[in-house]
């Protein structure tokens, strides 16, 4: 691998090795107020997007679920309430500060027993092949340096019949909405970031990274390239967010 | 930020509902409404932690509730201490309860669930034990409002308030009962607008007798008419034929 290989970090081009460190710095900076910011940024709608993701995952009692880039654990918490005592939910994040926040939050809520925590890189998952019935990643894939690796890893750890769900910002499907959304992301969002988390730069990165993320069809193609079958996506809120789903058959 | 707050208004989901795992037709409950229902149910459960234990055996069971008429589908997934409520859930439910809104409500609140399930007002597919367990858990919820009030203002105030409210409720119930009895007596005995219970019973018994008499008469007429068309039964036997005559139209 050449030293000059670069990838995008928001709108900037950075060496591949640097991206993970920079992403970590962003999330270290926002970890403590991540939930509050999410609520403010999406006007609380991110909870509805996550609820839809869980409904599409269709997880059953006794199954094993891996939640990548779990953050403060909204998805993992819901899954833990479904898989029952015989099931297992692994909450995983690459960022120690975020994972600690999430673990503390779930412990405080009394969610114990079927929840485990793993500090793991989505590009190199520390799990045996064919371990999980469902793998999810919510608002995390765009921060991964090599998305193809992450998709291949998700495919590897899934059992046959299992499914992967990717909840991620995407591209609005109407031009008018796109304009309003741009205005919001680049004017209002960094302002909110400065006000709440005292960090406008991190939130500018979030807005930029969303624009650099592959659109619905491209991501679907990437999933198929990683081996997933019956891939489909569901636009939410006019395409601002999309849920991609693929099966390992 | 987003004009479509949930998947309900989303063009992709509405274009291909099958793909989205929702019921092919009928109303899909918006995500915001589901979230509100879930929030309200869970707030209620926290008010009666002991009653909420009734949901423990249902942990992780997928319970579909289909509201007939509206065609709306709700999915409940009880957890250890809270319920999750979804619109359509992309897995076959362990138990699907189907019925009109009122019938469903009656099933949830009825003392004897069989009375609602028996006549087909509510249909249950899959594991019926789950439906019974759910109805039992819902029926077992009984919030101790005095205890909740005591948390806010303390026992010394909450207890008399609770006593007062209970007394008031009892007085209301007693007064209601008395009024009902008085009104019944006035209508039945004083102005004779309504029949008394005994009169009604006697009338119904007479109707029964009359109905039986009519049926007996009908049978007799039918028998006579058959005899007239076919001749004496002995002659029929000798000829080895069976009389076939168009019977008289059946009386209602």
Query: Which of A55, A84, A235 faces B12 most closely, judged by CB atoms?
Result: A235
Model confidence pTM above 0.95: no
Say yes or no: B71 and B171 in one domain: no
Question: Is residue B18 a part of any domain in this protein?
Answer: yes
Identify the structural domains of chain A with CATH numbers, from first to last.
6-172+206-247 (3.40.50.150)
H or E segment at A181? helix A175-183
User: Can you tell me the distance from the alpha carbon of A238 to that of A176, in angstroms, rounded to the nearest whole number?
Assistant: 11
Say yes or no: B102 and B182 in one domain: no
Query: Domain boundary at B139, B161, B179, which?
Result: B139
CB contact under 8 A, A240 and B7: no
Cβ atoms within 10 A of the Cβ of A55, count? Answer: 26
Say yes or no: B75 and B150 in one domain: no
Say yes or no: B18 and B79 in one domain: yes
Query: Which of A81, A232, A233 faces B82 most closely, judged by CB atoms?
Result: A81
Across the range B180-204, mean pLDDT stands at 89
CB of B28 within 8 Å of a chain A CB? The answer is: no
- Tens digits of residue pLDDT in B100-122: 888 787 777 665 555 555 556 78
Note down the domain range covering B96.
7-139
Say yes or no: B57 and B121 in one domain: yes
3-state secondary structure of A20: helix
CA-nearest residue to A163 within chain B is B90
Better-predicted residue by pLDDT, B48 or B219: B219
3-state DSSP of A133-159: EEEEEECCHHHCCCHHHHHHHHHHHEE
- Tens digits of residue pLDDT in A99-154: 998 999 999 988 889 999 999 999 999 999 999 999 999 988 988 889 999 999 99
H or E segment at A164? strand A158-169
Please tell me the total count of domains within chain B: 3
Across the range B19-42, mean pLDDT stands at 73
CB of B87 within 8 Å of a chain A CB? The answer is: yes
Q: What residues in chain A have their Cβ under 8 A from chain B's Cβ atoms?
A: 41-43, 45, 47-48, 51-52, 54-62, 78, 80-85, 87, 110, 173, 177, 180-181, 184, 232-238, 240
Say yes or no: B97 and B207 in one domain: no
CA-nearest residue to B30 within chain A is A48
Say yes or no: B91 and B126 in one domain: yes
What rounded mean pLDDT belongs to chain A?
A: 88
Contacts of A122 (CB under 8 A, 6+ apart): A68, A69, A92, A94, A137, A140, A141, A144, A149, A150, A153, A154
Say yes or no: B129 and B106 in one domain: yes
Query: Which of A55, A181, A236 faces B1 most closely, judged by CB atoms?
Result: A181
Contact between A134 and A163 (Cβ < 8 Å)? yes
CA-nearest residue to B74 within chain A is A55
The position carrying tokens 């928001």 is A10
Cβ atoms within 10 A of the Cβ of A50, count? Answer: 21
Question: Is residue B35 a part of any domain in this protein?
Answer: yes
CB of B32 within 8 Å of a chain A CB? The answer is: yes
CA-nearest residue to B17 within chain A is A234
Whole-complex ipTM: 0.83
Cβ contacts (< 8 Å) between B90 and chain A: which residues? 55-58
Say yes or no: B55 and B164 in one domain: no
Across the range A88-92, mean pLDDT stands at 96
At A1, the pLDDT band (50, 70, 90 cuts) reads: very low
CB contact under 8 A, A51 and B12: no
Question: Is residue B244 a part of any domain in this protein?
Answer: no
How many residues are listed for chain B in this entry? 252
Say yes or no: B35 and B129 in one domain: yes
Say yes or no: B84 and B153 in one domain: no
CB contact under 8 A, A236 and B10: yes
Say yes or no: B201 and B124 in one domain: no
User: Can you tell me the distance from the alpha carbon of B73 to that of B23, in angstroms, rounded to the nearest whole number?
Assistant: 7
The position carrying tokens 């007062």 is B164
The CA–CA distances, whole Å, from B189 to A71, A107, B182, B186 equal: 75, 69, 10, 6
- Tens digits of residue pLDDT in B201-249: 999 999 999 999 999 999 999 999 998 887 665 555 555 545 444 444 4
Question: Is residue B250 a part of any domain in this protein?
Answer: no
Question: Is residue B23 a part of any domain in this protein?
Answer: yes
Query: Which of B1, B5, B87 faces A184 most closely, judged by CB atoms?
Result: B1
Q: Which of B39, B14, B61 has its CA nearest to residue A51? A: B39
Query: Which of A43, A52, A78 faces B7 most closely, judged by CB atoms?
Result: A52
Write out the two tokens for A13.
């081009």
Question: Is residue B1 a part of any domain in this protein?
Answer: no
3-state secondary structure of A49: helix
């Amino acid at each position: 691998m050449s030293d000059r290989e670069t990838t995008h970090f928001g709108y900037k081009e950075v060496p591949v090795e640097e991206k993970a460190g920079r992403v970590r710095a962003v999330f270290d900076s926002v970890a403590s107020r991540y939930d509050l910011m999410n609520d403010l940024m999406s006007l609380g709608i991110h909870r509805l997007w996550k609820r839809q993701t869980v409904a599409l995952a269709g997880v059953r009692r006794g199954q094993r679920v891996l939640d990548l880039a779990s953050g403060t654990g909204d998805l993992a918490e819901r899954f833990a309430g479904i898989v029952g005592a015989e099931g297992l939910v692994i909450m995983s994040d690459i960022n120690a500060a975020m994972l600690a926040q999430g673990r503390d939050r779930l412990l405080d809520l009394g969610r114990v027993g079927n929840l485990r925590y793993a500090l793991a890189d989505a590009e190199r998952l520390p799990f045996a092949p064919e371990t999980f019935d469902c793998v999810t990643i919510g608002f995390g894939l765009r921060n991964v340096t090599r998305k193809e690796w992450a998709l291949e890893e998700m495919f590897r750890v899934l059992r046959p019949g299992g499914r992967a769900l990717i909840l991620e910002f995407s591209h609005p499907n109407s031009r008018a909405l796109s304009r309003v959304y741009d205005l919001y992301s680049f004017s209002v969002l960094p302002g909110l970031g400065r006000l709440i988390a005292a960090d406008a730069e991190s939130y500018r990165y979030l807005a930029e990274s969303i624009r650099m993320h592959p659109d619905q069809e491209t991501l679907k193609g990437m999933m198929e390239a990683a081996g997933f079958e019956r891939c489909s996506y569901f636009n939410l809120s006019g395409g601002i967010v999309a849920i991609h789903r693929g099966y390992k058959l | 930020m987003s004009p479509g707050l949930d998947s309900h208004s989303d063009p992709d989901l509405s274009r291909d509902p099958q793909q989205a795992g929702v019921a092919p037709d009928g109303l899909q409950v918006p995500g915001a409404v589901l979230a509100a229902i879930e929030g309200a149910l869970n707030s209620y459960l926290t008010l009666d932690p002991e009653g909420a234990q009734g949901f423990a055996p249902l942990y992780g069971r997928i319970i579909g509730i289909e509201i007939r008429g509206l065609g709306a589908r709700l999915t409940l997934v009880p957890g250890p201490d809270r319920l999750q409520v979804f619109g359509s859930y992309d897995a076959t439910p362990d138990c699907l309860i189907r019925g009109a809104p009122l019938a469903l409500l009656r099933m949830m609140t009825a003392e004897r669930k069989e009375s609602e399930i028996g006549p087909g007002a509510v249909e249950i597919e899959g594991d019926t034990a789950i439906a019974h367990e759910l109805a039992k858990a819902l029926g077992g919820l009984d919030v101790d409002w005095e205890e909740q009030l005591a948390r806010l203002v303390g026992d010394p105030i909450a207890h008399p308030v609770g006593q007062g409210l209970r007394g008031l409720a009892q007085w209301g119930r007693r007064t209601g009962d008395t009024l009902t009895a008085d009104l019944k007596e006035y209508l039945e005995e004083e102005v004779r607008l309504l029949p008394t219970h005994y009169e009604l019973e006697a009338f119904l018994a007479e109707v029964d007798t009359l109905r039986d008499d009519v049926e007996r008469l009908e049978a007799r007429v039918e028998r006579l008419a058959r005899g007239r068309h076919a001749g004496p039964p002995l002659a029929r036997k000798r000829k080895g034929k069976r009389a076939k005559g168009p019977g008289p139209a059946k009386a209602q």
